[in-house]
A and B are shown apart, each in its own frame.
Chain A
Amino acid sequence: DIQMTQSPSTLSASVGDSVTITCRASESISTSLAWYRQKPGKAPKLLIYDATALESGVPSRFRGSGSGTDFTLTISSLQPDDFATYYCQQYYTRTFGPGTKVEIK
């Protein structure tokens, strides 16, 4: 089974900051990686797919990069709406990472 890890597990930042979240797969998944944002009590929202492609309607401050086993999500100029939990997912076998909570500093 392909295992996913994320770091950090929690990240404290302020509005306007740029933050980076890392996701690592236990084996190569090429670019079959997605990023989601989830707010409390809500369903996840797809942000990035194919490691780098921005989902329609998602602001350009979200940027994905990477391939193989190592991936990053960068959020430039954090907005109040961005304080949430972020999950990566490999969609070969659909496993999610454990999540990264972005909280207000």
Chain B
Amino acid sequence: EVQLVESGGGFVQPGGSLRLSCGAAGFTFSSYSMNWVRQAPGKGLEWISYIGTGGSTRYYADSVKGRFSISRDDAENSLYLQMNSLTADDTAVYYCARPRDLGIASPFDHWGQGTLVTVSS
């Protein structure tokens, strides 16, 4: 059974940093690209970052480009999101999501339970 478990969320002051983790199990993690998706309270889904297999290809939404950094550790079956220069607009539940298929363009068929990040003074 595929499992994705996010951790690392919490309260952080504006301008601060936080690192999210997503532990993966039940599939060959190194064979899949991975994504982060967030959802602000009461709002819709926003894709924010993609990392390809091997970690050499990374994409970001404009809203986080230059502030967030995605990475992966295939030996640890883990995905990370380093978030810097946080603002109130970054307050959201953050999900890691696995694509359905191997390949660059695929919908997400497995999601974690999400971890809440609250940016507030």
Which residue numbers of A lie inside 8 Å of B, CB to CB? Answer: 1, 32, 34, 36, 38, 43-44, 46, 49, 55, 85, 87, 89, 91-99
Contacts and interface: CB of A to CB of B under 8 A. Distances in A.
Interface residues of B, number: 21
Interface stretch (B21-29, B43-51, B84-92): B43-51
A34 B107 contact: yes
Contacts, number: 51
A43 B114 contact: yes
A89 B35 CA distance: 14
A94 B44 contact: no
For the complex, would chain B's binding face be called helix, strand, loop or mixed by DSSP majority?
strand
A96 B46 CA distance: 6
Contacts of B37: 96
A55 B109 contact: yes
B20 to A, nearest CB: 15
Contacts of B7: none
